[in-house]
Amino acid sequence: MWSALGLGLVAACRHDAIPPSRWTAALQPAEVVIRSKHGGTAARSTWVIAGDDDWRRLWDTIRRNEPTRPPTPPPVDFATHRLFAAAAGAGDSMGPDVAIDGVSMRGDTVAVLTCFQLPSRSGAHPADVVEQVVVVRIPRTPGPVLSLTRIARSCGRG
């Protein structure tokens, strides 16, 4: 099941209901900047990060829960790229999970296809609370970012 969701901290996003096949035909892998089990957000959410200040705030949130990470985030050239972050929300050690299926472009619009995995209850360890988050690099264009979301029993690891 796919749905179009608009999002953005500082970037414009479009809310069109576009059939995913228009976007998935040209799907490209996304470059993962960071994947963490301790993203620091209890709610399922997505963000477009278009500048150093927002990137630093997200990195600090992740680092607060993973103090072994370096104090500064990996550098990003925000003149040519944006970051797209997706958080699965809080769950036990068996999920939920999140993955970026890929990135597609049509004109100056960038579409990010995100998969949110439903939590599994078999073998779960409720004491091990995780907050999966993945951050990927996307091209910076003058157009909006379109987020397409898929809910599934299993996601890839993009």
Count of the separate structural domains present in the chain: 1
In-domain check, residue 144: yes
Domain span including residue 114: 2-152
In-domain check, residue 157: no
- pTM, entire model: 0.78
Give me the pLDDT at residue 20, please. 62
User: For all residues of the chain together, what is the average pLDDT?
Assistant: 76
In-domain check, residue 158: no
Give me the pLDDT at residue 67, please. 72
How many other β-carbons are positioned within 10 Å of the β-carbon of residue 107?
8
